[in-house]
Amino acid sequence: MYPFSYTKVSDERAALAAGLRGGRYIAGGTTLIDLMRETVERPGALVDINALPLHDVGVTSRGLRIGALVRMADLAAHPQVRADYPVISQALELSASAQLRNMASIGGNLMQRTRCTYFRDVTAACNKRSPGSGCAALHGQNRAHAILGTGDACVATHPSDLAVALTALDAVVHLHGQDGERTVPVSEFFLLPGATPDREHDLRPGELITEIEVPAGPHTRRSGYLKVRDRQSYEFALTSAAVALRVDGGTIGDARVAVGGVGTVPWRLPEVERALIGSSPSPGTWTAAAARAADGARPLEHNAFKIELLKRTVARQLRTVGELG
């Protein structure tokens, strides 16, 4: 580990000033400390923001507001989140381990880095860690890598389950920075790798995530998350699906579908949603809509299996959510 300074701040002004000077914000530290130990990340200054007043969860008729420092376990267990936004609770409970969920913050969850093994091996070529060095995964072991949103520069999957659920629900990220507050839809907060895979978030220098806002709607109650992985404990997704439906009198009035484990960012499926809206809930509807789930996929040498697995994951979760009362 490289030397670094550590500062604990108690107000936002001090945090933003330290962030502007290049300090890295730290809350639970469950990703950043790992990466520092492996020398993948080498920040010169850490800014501990745990004392900032960003620990509240608010549920109103307008929606859900989640402070950036709320712990994953606390949000997952929140009674109103479990009842009104089950896709969020389920995505969180299928993430990481119980110990990590007790420590990790919601803001940090959105900022976590990819699990690509080459990214975490400082001897390997990796454009995300070392721009311009190449991508060892393109012709290496790429079974777990992305099939959507990829390019020649990077094919790493986005790792957050929560982000997939938030993408399906059209959540918005609130940011504070030197120019004041701004909001960014979650669907735009994560950046496609393009030619700059080292740049993963729409964040300006020193900006701080303060809150996540999830709009209310009749679809949020009828929602759920399915994660398919190599083992049922502490593993990242091979495929996953966040689904929210509104069914009016036997017709699907609204559908939100996003998937994980397959995209370089959380991946919304508008073609699947269009195929659902206006149809009647039925096994045929689920299968026909899910057939569009992998449109545009570009498999690598070892991960073509994800195409069929993704379609089945989406079909199964559509059926599960569609059969909810």
Chosen residue from 66, 75, 156, 168 binding ligand SF4 by CB under 6 A: 156
Beta strands in 192-238 (DSSP E): 208-215, 223-228
Binding segment for ligand SF4 (CB under 6 A), chosen from 23-31, 110-118, 226-234, 301-309, is 110-118
Q: Which residue type, as a one-letter code, is found at position 19?
A: G
Looking at the Cβ atoms of 28 and 159, the one nearer to ligand SF4 is 159
Chosen residue from 126, 228, 245, 293 binding ligand SF4 by CB under 6 A: 126
Pairing of strands 57-60, 63-67: antiparallel
Chosen residue from 59, 154, 262, 318 binding ligand SF4 by CB under 6 A: 154
- Cα separation, 77 vs 67, in Å, equals 15
Closest contact distance (angstroms) between CB of 305 and ligand SF4 is 18
118 part of the interface to ligand SF4, by CB under 6 A: yes
Looking at the Cβ atoms of 22 and 194, the one nearer to ligand SF4 is 194
Chosen residue from 89, 90, 109, 114 binding ligand SF4 by CB under 6 A: 114
With a CB cutoff of 8 Å and minimum separation 6, the contacts of 76 are 82, 88, 89, 92, 93, 101
Nearest by Cα to 49 from 209, 179, 194, 174: 209
Chosen residue from 40, 72, 116, 164 binding ligand SF4 by CB under 6 A: 116
Nearest by Cα to 225 from 245, 204, 244: 244
16 part of the interface to ligand SF4, by CB under 6 A: no
Q: Which residue type, as a one-letter code, is found at position 258?
A: A
Q: Binding to ligand SF4 (CB under 6 A): which residues in 23-62?
A: none
128 part of the interface to ligand SF4, by CB under 6 A: yes
- Cα separation, 55 vs 52, in Å, equals 8
Binding segment for ligand SF4 (CB under 6 A), chosen from 114-122, 162-170, 182-190, 272-280, is 114-122
Identify the H or E element spanning 307: helix 305-322
Binding segment for ligand SF4 (CB under 6 A), chosen from 34-42, 132-140, 298-306, 308-316, is 132-140
Size of the site for ligand SF4 (CB under 6 A): 14
With a CB cutoff of 8 Å and minimum separation 6, the contacts of 317 are 224, 225, 226, 241, 242, 243
Pairing of strands 45-48, 5-8: parallel
Binding site for ligand SF4 (CB under 6 A): 114, 116, 118-119, 126-128, 135-137, 154-156, 197
